Amino acid sequence: MFARATKTFVKEVDCGGNLISVSSLNNLDKLQFLNLVTKKKKTWCWQNPKYHLSSVTLNDVLVQDTHEPIKPVILESDFVKYEGKFEDGIRGSIETSFGRINLGTGGRDIVESQSSFGNLKKQEVDLHKLMKDVKGRSINLQTSLLQEMLERKHDVLCILTEKILTTQKCLISEHIQKEEKLAGMVGISTKIIKVSVSENGKVIKNSNVVLEIPAPTAVAYSVIELYIKRDGRFELCLLHDQEGGFERWAIEGPSYHSLAFKDACCPHLLDVVDNEKLPGPESPIPSGASLSILSKDDLQLKTQFQPFMNLSREKQRALYQIVYDLLLHEETVMQLENVLENICSKDRPGILVMEELKSPEEPCLEEFLQLIDVHLQSRQLIHNKELFLAVHLLLSALAELSSYSLVLLLACCDLQLVPTLCFLPNTTSEDGTMTFADPLLAPLADPGRFQISQRLFALSDINLEMTETSIKAATMKKSSFSPVILYIALNGLHALGCERDKN
């Protein structure tokens, strides 16, 4: 709940991507200036990097010499007053637990979230003073933290230099809306998160869960990457085009935990990795391209998700049901994806990975790991590599989708639209059109179903239009990896639910 509120806040106020949302209240004690933060480069090239806070400070890893410990000078200023009401609207004729999805003209807006962290302040390290303090200093590469990072080769060491703090007590409430099926159509459940400044001890009513956040609480932070040379000398990467890391690994290729992950990627992603065409989070998919551009990924995805179809019917249904239920628990999806990330990277013993499953859904997550043949035996994790990779790919894609996309994806599962949507790249012509003469497109002839699909696609930068006789699907401007991520999710769900789709 806290993670979702801070993630929304960062998305709204920081278009440049400099701020990192605080994901857990348990991490607040680690949010101290000059604390070390590990930037773990993405497993899949379409992912955003992940940051892990630590209680180790820059002073702890500096070579101990005649210099005094660095004492940062902190500058404080007003940041913003964050207060807003955000609405996602769909028009038409389907009843859902959002309230009401009115898919035609004249309908009312749905999916409403309110956020008000109130007046926020910014604290940041005086960088001019810091640059003088670190001049001539070196990092001790023999410390345990640095040795671990050197073994992993691609992690980047950062230091925390900025925090965004609340100045008033805030209440974060979560309300789960549910609505039964109506007239044979689908009812959807979703969570609505509201953040408000607490005044005079006011408590929010009619909410399932209320979390009180005292002031000052950090809701976001930013870091500076370090470029560390072989002899331990280091530089602060203050410019946007500067990248941190270790000099000894500078000539190595893209970071993947194993070749298996690279082999599991789609052709579009392999083009990026193998040819190193794209230095940043640019997209190999051009703007305004027909959806058929994704057809070359189809065979690779079918192969990647084949382990789902090889499962027994009982296991397949059980795994599908857990993934289906997780679509309404965005934070749990992200948590489980992190667990799988840690398992595959072998950063920590399996027992420590399992201890991370601290949530109301823990029994469900343990069942999930058992279904994919991950077991704890003699403090080691044993798993079926092919099945594990398929699950990791699917959950990594789901973790990149917004909470609203996940709810719409859930609706598509209920309406049995997933097979049809998976079919689209293979039937779309080079100009992006497909005709209703194809019987497989029949479900999209229904206006309600079409417009749920249209909204889901729009959130992944795909434009879906319908005429009396045809549908046109094309990518939007600056689509990044969004279309590929959506189709990884769709194909994974399709492979898991193939037995259900036949019934």
Span 122-139, pLDDT tens digits: 999 999 999 999 998 999
Checking if the pLDDT of 319 tops 90, the result is: yes
**Which three-class secondary structure state does DSSP give residue 475?**
strand
**Which three-class secondary structure state does DSSP give residue 42?**
coil
Residues 6 or more apart whose Cβ sits within 8 Å of residue 375: 369, 381, 382, 383
What is the per-residue pLDDT for 307?
A: 92
Distance CA 217, CA 215 (A): 5
What is the per-residue pLDDT for 225?
A: 94
* Mean pLDDT taken over the chain: 76
Q: Which of 289, 388, 296, 401 is nearest to 346 (CA)?
A: 388
- Phi first, then psi: what are they for 381, rounded to 5°? -95, 125
Distance CA 5, CA 331 (A): 11
Winning range, highest mean pLDDT, from 50-54, 264-268, 372-376: 50-54
Span 442-490, pLDDT tens digits: 899 888 889 889 989 998 989 999 888 888 988 887 767 889 899 999 9
Q: How confident is the model at residue 119 (pLDDT cuts 50, 70, 90)?
A: confident
CB 233 within 8 A of CB 138: yes
> Hey, what's the torsion of the CAs at 41, 43, 49, 51, to 10 degrees?
-70
Span 397-424, pLDDT tens digits: 998 888 778 888 988 998 889 999 999 9
Distance CA 214, CA 170 (A): 7
* Higher local confidence (pLDDT), 105 or 263: 263
What is the per-residue pLDDT for 333?
A: 85
E strand map for 339-488: 375-377, 380-382, 433-435, 462-466, 470-475
What is the per-residue pLDDT for 124?
A: 95
Span 16-36, pLDDT tens digits: 678 999 988 888 889 999 999
Q: Which of 260, 485, 297, 316 is nearest to 395 (CA)?
A: 485
Span 210-261, pLDDT tens digits: 778 888 999 999 999 999 998 899 999 988 778 888 886 544 444 444 434 4
Distance CA 167, CA 119 (A): 6
What is the per-residue pLDDT for 28?
A: 86
Burial of 189 (0-12, 13-18, 19+ CB in 10 A): middle
Distance CA 323, CA 394 (A): 10
Q: Tokens representing 109? A: 């807006």
Distance CA 230, CA 33 (A): 25
What is the per-residue pLDDT for 62?
A: 93
Distance CA 173, CA 159 (A): 32
Question: Is the torsion defined by CA of 5, 6, 11, 12 positive or negative?
Answer: positive
What is the per-residue pLDDT for 493?
A: 95
What is the per-residue pLDDT for 495?
A: 94
DSSP states of 230-291: TTSBEEEE-STT---EEGGGTT-----SSHHHHHHS-HHHHHHHHHT--SSS--SSPTT-BG
H helices present in 78-186, as ranges: 127-134, 144-152
Neighbouring-strand partners of residue 176:
191
CB atoms within 10 A of CB 183: 7
**38, 48, 126, 222 from 149: Cα distances, Å:** 9, 19, 27, 20
Enumerate the domain spans of the chain.
Answer: 2-249, 256-503
Q: Which of 65, 218, 86 is nearest to 134 (CA)?
A: 65
What is the per-residue pLDDT for 173?
A: 77
Q: Tokens representing 301? A: 């995805």
Distance CA 459, CA 385 (A): 32
Q: Which of 183, 181, 175 is nearest to 96 (CA)?
A: 181
Rg value, the chain, Cα: 24
**Which three-class secondary structure state does DSSP give residue 329?**
coil
Q: Tokens representing 486? A: 């959506």
Q: Tokens representing 399? A: 């973790």
Q: How confident is the model at residue 381 (pLDDT cuts 50, 70, 90)?
A: low
- Phi first, then psi: what are they for 448, rounded to 5°? -65, -50
Question: Is the torsion defined by CA of 366, 367, 373, 377 positive or negative?
Answer: positive
* Higher local confidence (pLDDT), 72 or 336: 72
Amino acid at 242: Q
Q: Tokens representing 292? A: 């058929």
* Higher local confidence (pLDDT), 52 or 241: 52
What is the per-residue pLDDT for 227?
A: 93
pTM: 0.76
Amino acid at 437: A
Checking if the pLDDT of 98 tops 60, the result is: no
Amino acid at 137: R
Q: How far is CA 338 from the centre of its chain?
A: 10
